[in-house]
Chain A
């Protein structure tokens, strides 16, 4: 279980997040929506331990953020950055092997291939530069999951890709949550995608457009601020 209490984050005088409370159970998929600049990416960065909050307490599986547990926490987290984080001059295979070598969890080539095949990515020897946008997104996601994290944080993982790839990524995430019991939090501007795969939606920001759209469709929306 991920638990967040009284979270506050500001950059100088600008308060980005204030008094944020929520909790997410294992096996849940949570969509994080809000207008640009509302603080979605900041919240995701805090949950990924990449940014420190000014106030508040966060725990995941009993491990406390900002304490000596942080290294253990990072082993539990799979963070998928919004920007594609791949070696552009490597092939799919080389990228997977490279990050496996540096990973906490050892996997053989077959296991790595299987991870990709579960996302319908079968271009093992293809160079990254020759992959489509959707394939690159899938590889970007697969690398973040090499160490079998139980908390998966995705920052707009389906931006700029075709519908088929979106569906494939969505199905994969759904399977990971429902079958493997992983906790998934991700940001997106695509309301259909959010409604399709998320169990809960957290709304963040002042522009209630997103919240209205979701509420009109019968989706339960939790306002974080």
Chain B
């Protein structure tokens, strides 16, 4: 094994820079996507208009809540200009507070508090509407609680002990302390923790997708060496060509795995996210084996590189790395079984892909004939 290691090191010496690049590529790209996303999040927000001709603690609280929401840029505007702004798509949607919004909330009347509008190209209307309704509901419930307490105070002769404002303020404090309700804008369906950018992205899906690409590109040596003129020499050496390829693949697997562990440590420290080591080993094993076998099908490295990019793209889409994929997975459930990164994302060890790869590897190993003679 030492001799095999030495021969591989001789090859690696010739391509040390590209080897290093592809080994750190998944870590680098994951950070690039996470911080890029963070930057985009800061730069991009959805313009939402709010129309109100009054100012009270209730209206101010609603507008403040909306302003504090990620991805929302609140534009306070007049009724006359809101239609124009929607038509020109300067606003995604707009919400007009009824003239007696404050009174209605205080009196516990929850009908016709808001009127909503949207542009014909609105893409965030539904989630924004749900978010505004939840804020209104929150304020409405708070006001109703205050009203009930006022009635109870009056009934038991404790007038003037608490004011309505004090009750509502205390209610807010309790909510903040106990984090009773948190609302965030979500385009994909399920609400996410708005405090963490990382939580909106599946960091491990991103890393795994880039790791698939890096592993495929790392295994291009199989094509180069299978089609080098030296192959007939292996018939007269200690190792057959097949064993030579296999042992070198194990070295590549171990090298990639080392970088996986480094990624695990870095992501844990910097992004506060971790993954089970066992599933990570299984994941790297199966994608390395898959890349090794796939490379046997190609004569020209360029075609292999193009295929590697195409495969990675399909895997990234199927795994929801690029876009939410609920529809995709419901339509093609079998795709998940063939997705090499799915077991890793699910915390498992293998799926149909793993089984297929192992079966092909066994056939490849057992296959005799011309390949046996020259290795």
Contacts and interface: CB of A to CB of B under 8 A. Distances in A.
Contacts of B244: 102
A90 interface: yes
A101 B232 contact: no
B14 A98 contact: no
Contacts of A200: none
B310 to A, nearest CB: 28
A67 B10 CA distance: 35
Interface in B212-247: 228-239, 244
A199 interface: no
B7 A85 contact: no
B3 interface: yes
A85 B236 contact: no
Nearest to B232: A81
A166 interface: no
Interface string A95-108: 00111011110000
A18 interface: no
Number of chain B interface residues as a range? 20 to 34
Given A49-B373, A144-B233, A87 B228 contact: yes
Contacts of A203: none
A102 B374 CA distance: 14
Interface string A51-85: 10000000000000000000000110111010111
Contact of A98 (B7, B229, B236, B239): B7
Given A94-B10, A97-B10, A102 B373 contact: no
A45 to B, nearest CB: 9
Contacts, number: 64
Contact of A101 (B7, B231, B374): B7
Question: Chain B at the A interface: mostly helix, strand, loop or mixed?
Answer: helix
B199 to A, nearest CB: 46
A88 B230 CA distance: 10
A143 interface: yes
Contacts of B14: 89-90
Contacts of B237: 99, 102-104, 147
Nearest to B229: A85
A38 B239 CA distance: 32
A155 B231 CA distance: 16
A89 B3 CA distance: 20
A50 to B, nearest CB: 5
Most buried by B among A51, A102, A104: A102
Given A84-B229, A85-B230, A87-B230, A102 B235 contact: no
A49 B235 contact: yes
Most buried by B among A75, A81, A99, A101: A101
Given A50-B373, A50-B374, A104-B238, A98 B10 contact: yes
A102 B239 contact: yes
Contacts of B231: 85
Contacts of B234: 102
B270 interface: no
A87 B233 CA distance: 12
Interface of B: 3-4, 6-7, 10, 14, 228-239, 244, 373-374
Interface of A: 48-51, 74-75, 77-79, 81, 83-90, 94, 97-99, 101-104, 143-144, 147, 149
